[in-house]
Amino acid sequence: MKEEIIYHIDQDTLELKNPVMIVGLPGVGHVGKMAADHMVEALGAKKIVDVYSEHFPPQVMVKEDSTVELVGNRLYLAETDKADLLILAGDSQSTDPAGHYKLCEIYLNFASQFKVNRIFTLGGYPTGVMSDENYVIGAANNINMIEELKEKGIQFNPSEPPGGIVGASGLILSFAKLKNIDAACLMGTTTGYIADPKSSKALLGKLCGILDIEVNMDALNEKIKDMDQIVEKIKDSVTGGELDEYYEHTPASDEDLIYFG
Amino acid sequence: MKEEIIYHIDQDTLELKNPVMIVGLPGVGHVGKMAADHMVEALGAKKIVDVYSEHFPPQVMVKEDSTVELVGNRLYLAETDKADLLILAGDSQSTDPAGHYKLCEIYLNFASQFKVNRIFTLGGYPTGVMSDENYVIGAANNINMIEELKEKGIQFNPSEPPGGIVGASGLILSFAKLKNIDAACLMGTTTGYIADPKSSKALLGKLCGILDIEVNMDALNEKIKDMDQIVEKIKDSVTGGELDEYYEHTPASDEDLIYFG
Amino acid sequence: MKEEIIYHIDQDTLELKNPVMIVGLPGVGHVGKMAADHMVEALGAKKIVDVYSEHFPPQVMVKEDSTVELVGNRLYLAETDKADLLILAGDSQSTDPAGHYKLCEIYLNFASQFKVNRIFTLGGYPTGVMSDENYVIGAANNINMIEELKEKGIQFNPSEPPGGIVGASGLILSFAKLKNIDAACLMGTTTGYIADPKSSKALLGKLCGILDIEVNMDALNEKIKDMDQIVEKIKDSVTGGELDEYYEHTPASDEDLIYFG
Amino acid sequence: MKEEIIYHIDQDTLELKNPVMIVGLPGVGHVGKMAADHMVEALGAKKIVDVYSEHFPPQVMVKEDSTVELVGNRLYLAETDKADLLILAGDSQSTDPAGHYKLCEIYLNFASQFKVNRIFTLGGYPTGVMSDENYVIGAANNINMIEELKEKGIQFNPSEPPGGIVGASGLILSFAKLKNIDAACLMGTTTGYIADPKSSKALLGKLCGILDIEVNMDALNEKIKDMDQIVEKIKDSVTGGELDEYYEHTPASDEDLIYFG
């Protein structure tokens, strides 16, 4: 097995209306992953493709019912009034540099196959400081797109992020350009030290504005409340004992709620 | 050499009775490895296949007679009243992520080739604490199997282990599902800091119950006694000098008796 | 995608006059990279080839206008009175050992294809100490070339650098020998702790002497002034706070001005 | 380039008398490498094959005359009264596990091609303690060979080394067995912290006894004298300043004389 791609739909007859691809994979603060996972839930998206690869960690996840699922990424389809959304979400990015290149080619093949008009990759932008405000920083493969996104409240700063964009969120922009697909990366500002559902919500808010759709935020608000309590506890605690306590009493399905990079 | 598979039987004519595959490779606390190695010894299993691979460490082991043996895994056959057991045991897992995928495909090919009915992968479950009780935690690729194993005393907790199952013990479950073979991973609880024959014995006890077979535990009881003495010495010692002494006076064939991960 | 090579010229009809290849990729003190980048700017070189590879980091750089560019290396052509210079410059070297071998074969294919007479690879030579003088140390694939370069002020010391030359700057010399192309590596002495435009200028000065060309040094002098101020600040500062301040207020396009290896 | 093998002899017509292969590559204490390098010098062996590979570090070495040489291994031929010795010596072992497997296949192909009768791989055995006595520990791919070598003063201890033999010295034994070539690994005891010419000499002494040949030890005795002085200085020094001094004043061609693993 190098890569295994399993379709759960009849890919030849699937016709999409104004298809837009959204990519939210694990990364800084899990900002992009939590945004994409939330969209899948809130919009009742259905899984249409499974992607497995030897470039992912050699690992299975255990589900609530104790059955296992091979680590992989998944393409979901959510139909909205304005656009059919192809949401790429999942467990992992490549474990090695070359794998990123191979996997992003696969993701772009989906974009071609389903005649995607534009792609938004979602990520986090680490600032290193706690802040009450969340901005969304952008970069794109196309200067016209930048003008449009500025009007929707996305910030574009010269040569920012200074270190570039690492992983699928970045590569997809350049690979999309080779296929003449407009693509932008939207990055929610976050501390970089902790999973940040607040940043995911701010990011998702802007994305909804761009796509002119609405997404119920209830589940994400719950996560934010949980996270606020944790951060309070951390602030109160010098030893970090409460953090351990949190870990022990939190259901494992929230295992990506907190992490330290 | 990429992978080298050497059969020591006539694979075309071998007919097995209710073949069950047991996988016990190196991992957390060497719990699975010691259980499988013990079964091979106690049941007088004969080696039927050698597996070598460039994904294993580039290394030979030195045997008691000073001859060498290339690092690899081995498939053994033990015939019991209830079932013919194919026991996969050995020296190593893959040194890189992609190698895990390749090797597990090879292991599943054995399962197909020998028409295996079910697979049990054996491993350790690190708790981080010393405990006098050993539980066996399970996960499976099939919800029906879980119900059956619960009745045999295997514990199934929602989404546990939270980080999933890494390596062959996990991948084999998902790969088996693609071939419609029922498979479960059985994990003995252990500290995670030290090789744990007591956990192996508890694990093996449950497995014998599931398979309805008996395995003489004498050699494993010996290892437990040795280990208890070491742990006592460690507790008595601040400098750890006695541990070094142990290392020097213990025959190397026990080299996997103690390890620090 | 393994490697992607995109020509921006008609490679079959391009005829060059006394073609010389200059290679300045990221490395010790970014001495070679800054020298090559400066030549491209100061000589108004035009990009003729893009090289992308899965051996580069999976990353895009963000440009001043917020559009992205896939990490890669680029071949530029600068026409001077004495020679047509093919300047290889870019963002990265291979992330893994085997990739260095593959990429250097590609670079040597350019040398063959464009009938290059000689190659100069540019790098830094870490001394570990601050010094007001910058020397240029050389090594070559050909004893005659050494004699000639000594006359131009390049120092050749027996078996120096003692650890050899790592990466493209070194491999290219040996690969060139297989194609009977004379090649030398020129290394500017530098502390090894910080990007060093002063060393780049000294190196470039010697190279201009060898090639008998002139290159305007203004932009490099600016970088040196900036760097001198930073070093002063570092000397004044115990906590390093000013260095952080510098990072925050320096435009990101200068992101390779300072780095710590 | 994956692997590049360059013959400097007419391999088809070369006829060898009782060909024995000696392998001494970099490793613990550089014991094996220094022994093989010394044999090449002292016996006036001529280079017959160059081996380059993308599995070696991407690096060139700089020679005394400032010309460069691609990192690689080399096969030398030394003709003695009793046997023609094929000595494999060089700069490096593989940088990755799979490369060890590939390179050892190449080395064994030489053994087949030149109809080698037996192979001796040379290495160091780290004891962690300074000692005035040097033993030579052995392991072999063949029980008969062990008996013979015991008579020549090689020590064979059960399952020693406990962690097995890593790299070419070990793999070659197992690979040789597949080709029915007798092979043994001879390991000189050494601290493991420093390059150890004294251990190399002891090892070489035993090898000469086995092969019934004589090798002039003058150059190795020089190295031992140098090393003794260094060790004295280290003992005298708390700060280690003298060690730095040694580094600065020692010609780079001795760069493998001291190293810290």
Contact B166 A57 (CB under 8 A): yes
What class does CATH assign to B3-216?
alpha beta
- Residue D6 touches partner C, C-beta closer than 8 Å: no
Give the pLDDT of residue D150.
98
Give the pLDDT of residue D254.
35
Would you place residue D218 in the very low, low, confident or very high pLDDT band (cuts 50, 70, 90)? very high
Give the pLDDT of residue B178.
92
Q: In the predicted model, is pLDDT for residue D242 greater than 60? A: no
Spell out which residues of chain C touch residue D55, defining contact as CB-CB under 8 Å: 97-98
C and B touch with 3+ CB pairs <8 Å, answer no
Which of B63-67, C6-10, D241-245 is the least confident region?
Answer: D241-245
Would you place residue D66 in the very low, low, confident or very high pLDDT band (cuts 50, 70, 90)? very high
pLDDT, average across residues D3-27: 94
Spatial neighbors of D10 by CB under 8 A, at least 6 apart, are none
Contact B59 D138 (CB under 8 A): no
Q: Is A130 or B200 the better-scoring residue by pLDDT?
A: B200
Contact C54 A98 (CB under 8 A): yes
What percentage of chain B has pLDDT greater than the value 70? 90
Q: Where are the domains of chain B?
A: 3-216
Give the pLDDT of residue B87.
98
Quote the CA–CA distance of C73 and C100 in Å, as a whole number: 13
Spell out which residues of chain A touch residue C51, defining contact as CB-CB under 8 Å: none
pLDDT digits (tens, 9 = 90+) for A95-113: 999 999 999 999 999 999 9
DSSP 8-state code for residue D185? E
In total, the C-beta contacts within 8 angstroms joining chain A to chain B are: 94
B33, B26 Cβ separation under 8 angstroms: yes
Quote the CA–CA distance of C49 and C71 in Å, as a whole number: 14
pLDDT digits (tens, 9 = 90+) for D145-196: 999 999 999 999 999 999 999 999 999 999 999 999 999 999 999 999 889 9
Spell out which residues of chain D touch residue B68, defining contact as CB-CB under 8 Å: 139-141, 164-165, 170, 173-174, 185
pLDDT digits (tens, 9 = 90+) for C140-178: 999 999 999 999 999 999 999 999 999 999 999 999 999
Starting at the edge strand that comes first in sequence, how are the strands of the sheet with C136-140 ordered?
Answer: C3-7, C46-53, C73-79, C84-90, C20-24, C118-126, C182-190, C136-140
Share the mean pLDDT of chain B: 90
Nearest 5°: CA angle at B110, between B108 and B116? 85
Quote the CA–CA distance of A224 and A222 in Å, as a whole number: 5
Q: In the predicted model, is pLDDT for residue B199 greater than 70? A: yes
Contact B54 D173 (CB under 8 A): no
Spatial neighbors of A45 by CB under 8 A, at least 6 apart, are A39, A76, A77, A78, A85, A87
Give the pLDDT of residue A172.
98
pLDDT, average across residues A244-248: 43
Give the pLDDT of residue B11.
85
Nearest Cα of chain D lies from the Cα of C92 at a distance, in angstroms, of: 15
Contact D66 C173 (CB under 8 A): no
Give the pLDDT of residue A99.
97
Closest to C66 (Cα-Cα) out of D146, B87, A149: A149
Q: In the predicted model, is pLDDT for residue D54 greater than 90? A: yes
Q: In the predicted model, is pLDDT for residue A12 greater than 90? A: no
pLDDT, average across residues D104-128: 96
Which of A180-194, B220-234, D36-50, D198-212 is the least confident region?
Answer: B220-234
- Residue B171 touches partner A, C-beta closer than 8 Å: yes
- Residue A179 touches partner C, C-beta closer than 8 Å: no
Share the mean pLDDT of chain A: 90
pLDDT digits (tens, 9 = 90+) for B205-228: 999 999 999 999 999 999 999 999
pLDDT digits (tens, 9 = 90+) for C74-132: 999 999 999 999 999 999 999 999 999 999 999 999 999 999 999 999 999 999 888 88
Q: In the predicted model, is pLDDT for residue B240 greater than 60? A: no
Q: In the predicted model, is pLDDT for residue D243 greater than 80? A: no
pLDDT, average across residues A252-261: 34
- DSSP alpha helices (H): ranges in chain A? 31-42, 97-113, 143-151, 168-178, 197-211, 218-236, 241-249
Give the pLDDT of residue D167.
97
Q: In the predicted model, is pLDDT for residue C247 greater than 60? A: no
Other Cβ atoms closer than 10 A to B228? 12
Give the pLDDT of residue B261.
25
Of the partner residues C146, C159, C171, the one whose CB lies closest to the CB of residue D253? C159
Side-chain half-sphere exposure of D86, counting CA atoms within 13 A: 26
Give the pLDDT of residue C60.
98
Spell out which residues of chain D touch residue B71, defining contact as CB-CB under 8 Å: 164
Of the partner residues A104, A141, A157, the one whose CB lies closest to the CB of residue C67? A141
What percentage of chain C has pLDDT greater than the value 70? 90
C103 token code pair: 């990429």
- Put simply, the chain B residues between 49 and 68 with a CB less than 8 A from any chain D CB are 54-68
Quote the CA–CA distance of A8 and A77 in Å, as a whole number: 11
D and A touch with 3+ CB pairs <8 Å, answer no
D81, B79 Cβ separation under 8 angstroms: no
Contact B68 D98 (CB under 8 A): no
Contact A141 C70 (CB under 8 A): no
The CATH architecture one would assign to domain D3-217 is 3-Layer(aba) Sandwich (3.40)
Contact C160 D96 (CB under 8 A): no
Most B CBs within 10 A among D159, D172, D179, D187, hence the mutation to make, goes to D159
Find the closest chain D residue to B52 by CA distance.
Answer: D101
Give the pLDDT of residue C103.
98
Would you place residue B113 in the very low, low, confident or very high pLDDT band (cuts 50, 70, 90)? very high
pLDDT digits (tens, 9 = 90+) for A16-25: 999 999 999 9
Q: In the predicted model, is pLDDT for residue C253 greater than 50? A: no
Nearest Cα of chain B lies from the Cα of D6 at a distance, in angstroms, of: 21
- CB burial of B98-134 (b: ≥16 within 10 Å; e: otherwise) equals bbbbbbbeebbebbeebebebbbbbbbbbeeeeeeeb
DSSP 8-state code for residue C6? E
A182, A142 Cβ separation under 8 angstroms: yes
Contact D173 B60 (CB under 8 A): yes
Query: Which contiguous run of DSSP H or E holds residue C131?
Result: none
Identify residue D63 by its one-letter amino acid code: K
C34: left (phi over 0), alpha (psi -120 to 50) or beta: alpha
pLDDT, average across residues D70-90: 97
**Whole-prediction pTM value?**
0.89
Most C CBs within 10 A among A53, A171, A182, A185, hence the mutation to make, goes to A171
Contact A55 B185 (CB under 8 A): no
pLDDT digits (tens, 9 = 90+) for A202-239: 999 999 999 999 999 999 999 999 999 988 888 777 55
Give the pLDDT of residue A13.
86
Quote the CA–CA distance of B76 and B37 in Å, as a whole number: 10
- Residue B128 touches partner D, C-beta closer than 8 Å: no
- Residue A125 touches partner B, C-beta closer than 8 Å: no
Which of A55-64, B123-132, D29-38, D228-237 is the least confident region?
Answer: D228-237
A66 token code pair: 């104790």
pLDDT digits (tens, 9 = 90+) for B136-172: 999 999 999 999 999 999 999 999 999 999 999 999 9
Question: Which phi and psi angles does A115 have, rounded to 5°?
Answer: 55, 45
B124 token code pair: 């350790």
Quote the CA–CA distance of D202 and D155 in Å, as a whole number: 13
Angle of the D197-211 helix axis to the D218-236 helix axis, nearest 10: 150
Spell out which residues of chain D touch residue C104, defining contact as CB-CB under 8 Å: 58
- Residue D101 touches partner B, C-beta closer than 8 Å: yes
What percentage of chain B has pLDDT greater than the value 90? 80
C137 token code pair: 């140390």
Nearest Cα of chain C lies from the Cα of D1 at a distance, in angstroms, of: 6
What percentage of chain C has pLDDT greater than the value 90? 80
Give the pLDDT of residue A38.
98
Query: Which contiguous run of DSSP H or E holds residue D181?
Result: none
Contact A146 C69 (CB under 8 A): no
